[in-house]
Structure 1
Amino acid sequence: MGLVPVLGVLALLLLSAAGELAAHPLAPSLLEIVEGGAGQVDVRWKTPANKVPGSDLRPSLPAHCQPDGGVLQEAAGTAIVQRWRVVCSAPLPGSTVGVDGIASSKADVILRLTLADEQVVSTVLTADRPTFVVPDSGGPGTVLRSYATLGVEHILSGPDHLLFVLGLMLLVASGRQLLWTVTAFTAGHSVTLSLAVLGFVNVPSGPVEALIALSILIVAVEAVRGPSERPTALRRFPWAIAFAFGLLHGFGFAGALAEIGLPAGEIPLALFSFNLGIEIGQLMFCAVVIGLYMAASRLPFERASQLVPARRAAAYVIGTLAAYWVFERTAATLAPLIA
């Protein structure tokens, strides 16, 4: 079994996963809990208006917290927001909060807690980890750990960003060049991520998502070109192109971080930690891809002549998915203008 058949199998799996993502393009839900004085806790529950049939997400609060009044509900764009208050007989630190029904919802939940001492704790609840134990103590260490974890989880759950990184891997010729290229991508999106989250730049998400897909398509088209063809600037200076496109991808990351929020007094550390997590996640993804490539290259009957068609096969898969996303996201952006 050669490298091309291996990539063919991986391509089918990737296409299947992309189809599932296209069928359920749901944004994460947001559970925001603010602990006040006298045991009063305000809860804000934001969910997408479009839900997977049969799914029923329900916040799960500690048993010592009881409702105090009714639930207020309002529409906010493409989401539904519910607000209510509970009274807790004990502080939240050390308690367990979570969301029931995540496994059937096809989407994660962002949990943001503001404790009585104004400490802000954020995390992502998933099907594998639907609950979270509120930490007893905060500080810089908690911020660093929480936001770095959020960065890792966000990049690894974003197929478009990972496909862009995979496309870059098809263009570089050495491990050192790959490290510089991926780091340049991180540096680029760190700039626009910070500017957007801090409110200095405001760009509509629809056009940004379409342009992100276009950047993946451009990299895929370049990866299809043979090594004998005249190299373009994209192939000669992949790190520079990665930085430029990273500026674009940063606006995409900013949307997720804006939902999570930044802790007052720890904004620089939170931004650094989130970007650090994204870099770690990218390197983890690169390590997995390199490991699969090395394993495939050691299979029987492997020939060096298979490397070029194997790279092209992977590039065609990336380009196909990217082209689909370009049309899908462009149509979604233009639809409200045409209607």
Structure 2
Amino acid sequence: MIALLRLLLLMLLAVPAHADELRPGYLELTQQNEQQWKIIWKAPVLGGLATSAAPLLPPFCRVTMDRPNLSVGALVAAGRATCSKPLDGATVGLSGLEPGATDTLLRIAPLGRPVQTARLLPGQDTTIVAAVPDGWQVARTYFGIGVEHIIGGFDHLLFVVALVLLLQRGWPVVAAATAFTIAHSLTLAGTTLGLFGLPQAPVVAVIALSIIFLAVEVVKAQPGSPKQALRLSERLPWLVAFLFGLLHGFGFAGALREIGLPESDVPVALLTFNLGVEAGQMLIIAAVLAALALLRRLAPAAQRTALIASAYTIGSIASFWFIERLWA
């Protein structure tokens, strides 16, 4: 158990300081008239896309791309495509997508028709343009992105794990996690719609502090204490999760800015992204609760030691991120 925690520590310390941000590629095709399409291609510097991948359109399209510019850790290039016939039924996507490369969100906006979206992955680097797009396509895409973000976004992952280690009971954990989702949904929607916002640099630093706070609470928790002696995080965990969720929502907003939102489907994208985050949280909660139940059954005497070791590991990782983010 201790060896596993040390391995986890080494792996996560290797993650960049802005572990909360998604870094997918983004390819947008917007039809201007019967033959002309506008292309926007954004490839993050990290992730393998910038060095090898490029937009791929069918042979009947003549593509011209401008010189890319470096913007916020990504190469961004605009271009144009002149197509001799409609793209309906044609294959579009990326060429040169190598194994292990970051995924890419593809957005296709034909004139006068619904926007189509797809996720391009190594081994699944193209899609067929539908003449009549599936109305649930945007919902499926952003639900999947939400699940991936909570599982692959180490900030939120460690926050949820620490919350489970603190409470250790099913319904209190689920209630706290749901309060967290409701809170970050509010700030995410408000920031995405331009109602308010915060700079990302201090947000990601304080998010790391929120993880440190929960790790300290796990260490200080005294099982079996009378109710009046319980700490606020134990008495009202949903309130603590809600307050921190407001902060984490600004971090999610930074992620969605990296991905981009379909202008005509912002409500659907926001809703399904949040539902995906909630589904991902429930998967994490179920896995951690199952691990705790197995530990109680097989080695009950080691349970407290494992909790303390886990809390120190999580706190150390979050402290490392916090210090790096102050200097970033």
Deviation at 1:110, TM superposition (A): 3.1
User: Mapping of 1:194-213 within 5 angstroms?
Assistant: 194-213=189-208
- The one-letter amino acid paired with 2:58 is A
For residue 40 of structure 1, what is the aligned residue in structure 2?
Answer: 36
SS of residue paired to 2:51:
coil
Deviation at 1:68, TM superposition (A): 4.1
For residue 164 of structure 1, what is the aligned residue in structure 2?
Answer: 159
Does structure 1 residue 244 correspond to structure 2 residue 239?
no
C-alpha distance 10-245 of structure 1, shift in aligned 2 (>3 A): same
C-alpha distance 54-96 of structure 1, shift in aligned 2 (>3 A): closer
Does structure 1 residue 152 correspond to structure 2 residue 147?
yes
Aligned length: 321
Deviation at 1:20, TM superposition (A): 3.6
Q: Is the 8 A contact 1:112 1:260 kept in 2?
A: no
- The one-letter amino acid paired with 2:16 is A
Structure 2, unaligned stretches of length 5 or more? none
Q: Is the 8 A contact 1:31 1:59 kept in 2?
A: no
Deviation at 1:284, TM superposition (A): 1.5
Deviation at 1:158, TM superposition (A): 0.3
- The one-letter amino acid paired with 2:41 is W
- The one-letter amino acid paired with 1:76 is S
- The one-letter amino acid paired with 1:163 is L
C-alpha distance 164-132 of structure 1, shift in aligned 2 (>3 A): farther
Deviation at 1:103, TM superposition (A): 3.2
User: Mapping of 1:274-313 within 5 angstroms?
Assistant: 274-298=273-297, 302-313=298-309
- The one-letter amino acid paired with 1:108 is D
Q: 1:71 aligns with which of 62, 66, 74?
A: 66
C-alpha distance 126-142 of structure 1, shift in aligned 2 (>3 A): closer
User: Mapping of 1:223-262 within 5 angstroms?
Assistant: 223-227=218-222, 230-262=229-261
Q: Is the 8 A contact 1:123 1:150 kept in 2?
A: no
Q: Is the 8 A contact 2:295 2:303 kept in 1?
A: no
TM-score, normalized by length of structure 1?
A: 0.84
For residue 4 of structure 2, what is the aligned residue in structure 1?
Answer: 10
TM-score, normalized by length of structure 2?
A: 0.86
Q: Is the 8 A contact 1:147 1:274 kept in 2?
A: yes
The CA RMSD over aligned residues, in Å, is 2.7
C-alpha distance 12-199 of structure 1, shift in aligned 2 (>3 A): same
Does structure 1 residue 325 correspond to structure 2 residue 324?
no
Deviation at 1:205, TM superposition (A): 0.9
- The one-letter amino acid paired with 1:10 is L
C-alpha distance 266-101 of structure 1, shift in aligned 2 (>3 A): closer
For residue 87 of structure 2, what is the aligned residue in structure 1?
Answer: 92
C-alpha distance 46-52 of structure 1, shift in aligned 2 (>3 A): closer
For residue 335 of structure 1, what is the aligned residue in structure 2?
Answer: none
Deviation at 1:195, TM superposition (A): 0.2
SS of residue paired to 2:166:
coil
Q: Distance in 2 between matches of 1:250 and 1:28?
A: 19
Deviations, residues 258-287 of structure 1 (Å, cap 9, x unaligned): 233333443322211111111011111222
Q: Is the 8 A contact 2:117 2:137 kept in 1?
A: no
Deviation at 1:135, TM superposition (A): 4.2
SS of residue paired to 1:181:
helix
SS of residue paired to 1:47:
strand
C-alpha distance 154-39 of structure 1, shift in aligned 2 (>3 A): farther
Q: Distance in 2 between matches of 1:54 and 1:85?
A: 20
Deviation at 1:24, TM superposition (A): 9.8
Q: 2:108 aligns with which of 101, 108, 113?
A: 113
Deviations, residues 170-193 of structure 1 (Å, cap 9, x unaligned): 111421111111101100100000
Deviations, residues 35-64 of structure 1 (Å, cap 9, x unaligned): 33223222112234x447997231241333
Deviations, residues 158-179 of structure 1 (Å, cap 9, x unaligned): 0111000001001114211111
